[in-house]
Chains A and B, each alone.
Chain A
């Protein structure tokens, strides 16, 4: 019997490609990365640049024609009282929704990361993802019915004798209203429901990376549960909370459907952009409005980094 060859014969195209990529290690990377980079670079960043450019144009107030000349006039318009109202309202709502999501998400994410195993972990993922499988509009309209004056919440409050509580909540000036579905509280509830999965998942991923021994070490050194939470769990979960808050914050800032369906019809940035570029034809101001969330997110990330939110990464 002759000995096996030292070099095995080539078996066609797959082997030739393997050899090519082995000789030029960067080639495969280039082949894999070119399509997404083209997409990101040209389509995504390109349209972002076009948007930015538009925001530096202005509209002729008499003819309604966009003047393609560089000006900061449109940005100046953002500071008008009615526009500032929209921006502040949107930022407040986004912030409150983010905090609400974070508070609701933490126990769920913590349970899933620390205790859920096997079947329960699958149930957790299913439970978190299931709402994402049905249409966004269906969910929002369902919430409108739930929160309406004739809806199940009012009915349940009635049955449990909690109508005075509901009325008290609805009479809070500023955020209350005629019914839950026509108040800021309603808008908040629907936002929190819709974006909650986007907070739970990154938070759970961050908490999963915290080894149990680290919590034990904290207790071992004399920390109470709340000290361990403040000094170990929370800082280590911070990257996940930030990642989740980027989702909830920016999604709330950009959404233009929920405030139209549930709430008191006051405008949010998303709705303003939608109306300005559509009905009003004021593309420059719509573009300037669209830049606001981008700037806010950049500032937010910068502050978070300065505060050491990513130290645990």
Chain B
């Protein structure tokens, strides 16, 4: 039973008071250019997720608290949460730099494009 802390209202509690919402930073193509979405793009959006051993980035909701969604960085090996951050934010820079595999590539591009999530 993990302990989760909501960065919006500060509520801390058992993971059963929260709702896990899968991988963070998934871009929904239809919100941007609904008329021009390739099958590959749509496939990636729907089905392709990272599964790293180590640092991972996730969405959570403060289900039994303020009801707001937020992001979390968590080590999938030790289950330790490294950071909680806003739903419209990127993780702390040092975590983006520590990220591996597809996450490293993702954050590199994001940082290159400016930090707007």
Are A and B interaction partners?
no
Using CB atoms and an 8 Å cutoff, list the residues of chain B in contact with chain A. Answer: none
